[in-house]
Structure 1
Amino acid sequence: MNGYGVLRRVYVRPPDTRSLASWEAFGWHHAPDPRSIGREHLAFREQLADAGAEVITGATPVPGDPDAIYAYDPVLVLDDGAIMLRPGKVKRRSEPRAVARDLEASGVPVLAALEPPATAEGGDLVFLDDVTLLVGVGYRTNAAGAEQLASLLEPRGITVHRFDL
């Protein structure tokens, strides 16, 4: 649930070389090299495993979405399961379903999912400690997303602090 301490288990999503063709539509600044991105991802997984982490590699495809490699954005992981987020970037809205399938298959229960009009992405969220989540409100995470996260987390003893990005 936190971004500190010993990494024991980690979820990653491999690049889909066919989806990389959509790089411009997803706002990437340069065309990715499919061979090097595949090699880099494999090396990344090997480094995680060498550090002692159990590496869970996502298997559910998200066709046409090169951003699906960013596994942190569509989910907030807690000690007892996951909250599926709802990306602010409309083209990424199918990612949470794919990640939920992968997590449930690996034994991580899905506790809840954000509902419209809420949007929130993991890149705007950070745990300050075990009981404090910082939520940046901006393009990807809106006020409704921050409110839904607070309503889901505060009963669990987690305080949500919102701030403008």
Structure 2
Amino acid sequence: MKFLPTLIGTASGLCILLHSCVVPPDYSITPTLEFVSYSKDTMDQGSILNDSTFLTLYFTDGDGDFGEDIKTNATNITLKDLRTGEVFRNYKAPIIPETGTSNGIAGTIKIKVYTTCCIFPIDTGLIPCESDPDYSNTLTFEIFITDRAGHVSNTLVTPPLTLKCQ
């Protein structure tokens, strides 16, 4: 019986400790985006299936409405090629189920980014995807995400990827 108060005290303390660790996130309803890593930072130029790297991003969304139904054509991740200023690719992240006591969500996004062609200065006379061992290109992306309410995240500029033009 003398262990009963100790057991009750320990159990109460553990419950308080566990309860105090569950703090709902305080994220903005506007998504945020951070660069995490590339799986590799150099790719061979060429056709889409020639080479690839994985781009990992971290995101938060305070109202938890990031992701699109797989049945729609909507996209929610946009990569822009800063060499051309044009959209490189659009991607779709699926809906993320809401869990816990709050609607805020956070997580990582891993995207397989396929290679593209080198772009040469006009005065070289080389056309994109020609082979020239004297050149390499750096490929930098501008990336943003959009949630279902239309909130657009910060625009992230990635570190450069090197494209080998040979």
Bin of the TM-score, shorter chain as denominator length: under 0.3
Answer 1 or 2: which has greater helix percent: 1
TM-score if structure 2 supplies the norm length? 0.21
Rg (Cα) greater in structure:
2
Answer 1 or 2: which has greater strand percent: 2
TM-score if structure 1 supplies the norm length? 0.22
